[in-house]
Amino acid sequence: MKLTYPAYFTPLEKSEGYCVTFPDLPGCVTQGGSLTEAVEMAVDAASGWVLDELEDGKSAPPASLPGSIPIEKDGDFVTLVVLDMDSYSEKYGSKAIRKNCTIPAWLNAAAEKNSINFSAVLQEALINKLGLA
């Protein structure tokens, strides 16, 4: 699912960066040291905000039209950011995915006898194999 939200950019006074807020996502605020970094941070912050809502069983809030958001001072501007929620939730979501695998019966018996948590072992092995540890 892709979502689009207006982001409000305010130049930082003592740097070339920007503070970014989202009128439709209460409390979602970020900043970047340059315009490019601010846009990247805006996408990440908004995606995280929306993912939290979705994982809590809520729906993503509707987006305002950019033209409906008043500009408060010179230098501020509003632009749209696109959120790829499928990609973001795959990378950062806490939703568990069920996987089935096949192992020899003797290995299953030995693991169960030793109270091995199969999910934990698989996660640990994948993290090590992928070099994510």
* All domains in the chain, ordered by first residue: 2-92 (3.30.160.250), 96-133 (no CATH)
Q: Return the higher-pLDDT residue of 127 and 9.
A: 9
Amino acid at site 8 = Y
Q: Helix (H, G, I), strand (E, B), or coil: what is residue 114?
A: coil
DSSP alpha helix (H) spans, the chain: 35-55, 85-92, 105-113, 118-129
61 neighbors 3 (Cβ within 8 angstroms): no
Query: How far, CA to CA in Å, does 60 sit from each of 35, 111, 127?
Result: 26, 42, 31
Question: 10-48, pLDDT tens digit by residue?
Answer: 999 888 899 999 999 999 999 999 999 999 999 999 999
Report pLDDT digits (tens) over 56-103.
Answer: 888 899 999 999 999 999 999 999 999 998 888 878 776 666 677 888
Cα distances (Å, whole numbers) of residue 12 to 16, 58, 127: 7, 33, 39
Residues 50 and 62: beta-carbon distance below 8 Å = no
- 30 backbone dihedrals φ, ψ, rounded to 5°: -150, 180
